[in-house]
Amino acid sequence: MDTPEVQVASSEIRQPTPIAQAPQDTQPSDTPDVDMNGAQDTVNDRNEGDKRVQPDTILPDAQPAEPMGAAKESPGLSFLDYLMSPIVELVVGQGENETILTAHQNLLRQSPFLAESIANFNETNPRRISLPDENVEAFGCFLQFQYTRNYTSPGQDAAIDDSGEQLLRHARVYTLAEKLGIPELKSLAHSKIHQIDSTSSAEIMYARYVYTHTPRDDTTIRRPVAAFWASRSHFLRHESEEEFKKLCLEVPEFCFDVLSLVLDQKEKRAQDKTEATEHGTKQSGRKRLRSGI
């Protein structure tokens, strides 16, 4: 895998927004019950004009960031002061994928997770943080975001994600941002996921990653995956039946969530039909009563 390059525009450098001052509108909104009738109609054209957005879990699209301010612990810090802070060596990945990246210490300290490692630095040990379990490309996106407040990925201009790799790239950034404690990056990755059209095979790859890398209580990207498959499984599984079956066997929790939503919707339709029938019977009785007066 090619090592991601962090590019900093020389014409306009903006300061990083501190985590403590992240705007409230970047946080995930409360999630009401899933409305199966609101799901998108096709895999490649879901909710036209607002792609991949499920009605029950919508995060606001990331807005252009304001000029980046000082870190919470140093209110008077300028961006030049960030660039003058010591360089930290980041050993990301392991084996053949091990890559050494570097970044300025004060920018890394905006992550509570990395700040703990930085706090243990001393004069005798090198300024190095080992991250063997992290994805190199996703971590490169994190560093790019810290410097520029945005990130890019290869192939992002493709019309349709046939392989699922675009979905996975942004999903990896999302889970990394969650681990590092960078809510603005998490919201940005979430909004980028919604901008991708994909195939059923790509959706299966995405569903597998989400269900194996997010906690059960995640309603931002995990719940919409189950809701999407529950509403479209009647034809999606036929497009990739073997892959769908394999996913259900490998990740039973995914299968259970999808089945639960399907059965809930079936039960709701049956209940609505019963109530409509009872209502009609009562109306007939009242008409007969009036006709006998």
Q: What CA–CA distance (Å, rounded) separates 143 from 146?
A: 5
Judged by phi (left if over 0) then psi (alpha if -120 to 50, else beta), residue 95 lies in left
What is the rounded average pLDDT of the residues 226-245?
84
Per the listing, tokens 């895998």 go with 1
- Kindly indicate the confidence band of residue 70, based on its pLDDT and cuts at 50, 70 and 90: very low
For the entire predicted model, the pTM comes to 0.68
Determine contact, residues 187/148, Cβ cutoff 8 Å: no
Q: What CA–CA distance (Å, rounded) separates 204 from 187?
A: 22
Residue-wise pLDDT tens digits, 91-130: 999 999 999 999 999 999 999 999 999 999 988 888 999 9
The mean predicted confidence, pLDDT, of the chain is 76
Q: Report the C-alpha dihedral over residues 260, 265, 270, 271, rounded to 10 degrees.
A: 100
Report residue 237 CA to chain centroid gap. 23
Residues of the chain with pLDDT > 70, as a percent, come to 68
pLDDT attached to residue 95:
92
- Kindly indicate the confidence band of residue 139, based on its pLDDT and cuts at 50, 70 and 90: very high
Domain ranges of the chain: 199-293
